[in-house]
Structure 1
């Protein structure tokens, strides 16, 4: 992972940066799902602790060839007027590393109860006792709003940037460009 590519949202009087980032990341995810090989990671260089927004820059990480191949696919259709793209360029010498991962909230106890009833064949009262409403988890992390292509429902994809590390950890990235253990360069 020796190169990166930066996609910056241009200011737009009609759309806030969060709306454009949601649309950009949705297209990025679909592009990775179609053309990705688990070799492209993502980070949000403008992220700040305690803020829910991810900023106005999306940084893609990978080899120069993987980034060029990915950008050669037509995944940015309809977004190019809203973006400035720089790179691919070599990662700066001395860059540190960071895991950028998805965190899933357990925010819907009713759905978890239905699954428990279907899996274990227990009664609704037993499921309610096993999974009380107080179990709903609220995360204080930045997120992207995405629409599920399978259900059509909107959901929050929570993104966590773990502490900066000195050593890189190799591995694969999922179809969101995120990984629970693989690092991306951080600079």
Structure 2
């Protein structure tokens, strides 16, 4: 990843950071799908610059990175974020600094809902769903996922329903730091199970 552009979120009284992350990330995802290079594969990666921020766990900036300037120009994020222009600022495309010392992997962490877990265990243990659910709620209080997340609207379920009805889900994002770059593929959320992005 040699080039990047930053998208800074600009919250106000009407639109908080959580709302803006949802709307901006949705548009980024649609842009990545529209420009995919393979089945659910993107040439553009995502970096959550303010990950772990005390005020808001995802911070107020996301960074898109690519191997070439042309890839980011072709993505044309200005067009995708046009209706949100009052709430976000796009930087110009810049080269990644040469002195990067760390790399970060941002991957999607699948967190199963407690209800689905209770259904499976109830069948497996031949116990009532409510009994298993109550146990899991009590047991899980200390095990709740603490990772930052984005509320995402599934475009696939909207398409499959044929009626424009969408399904919302929480996309949990995990960050891991590395001393060296790791190559790999990025999905259409800009996330990867293996690949890293420059962390600066």
Runs of at least 5 residues in structure 1 that lack an aligned partner in the other structure: none
Could you tell me how far apart the structure 2 residues matched to 1:51 and 1:13 are?
Answer: 16
Cα drift, residue 180 of structure 1? 1.1
Matched, 1:159 2:152: no
1:133 pairs with one of 122, 133, 136 = 136
Distance 2:120 2:78 in 1: 39
- Which of 176, 182, 187 is the equivalent residue of 2:189? 176
Q: Deviations for 1:98-144, whole angstroms, at most 9, x for unmatched residues?
A: 11111111223x42465789xxx979649999997357662101111
TM-score, normalised via structure 2 length: 0.77
The aligned counterpart of 1:186 is 199
Shift >6 Å, 4+ stretches: 126-132
Distance 1:122 1:11 in 2: 47
What is the aligned-residue RMSD (CA, Å)? 2.9
- Aligned residue in 2 for 1:8: 8
Paired residues of 1:45 and 1:55 also in contact (CA < 8 A): yes
Partner of 1:55: 59
Length, aligned pairs only: 182
Give the distance between the partners of 2:27 and 2:119, measured in 1 at CA.
32
Query: Greater CA deviation, 93-102 or 51-60?
Result: 51-60
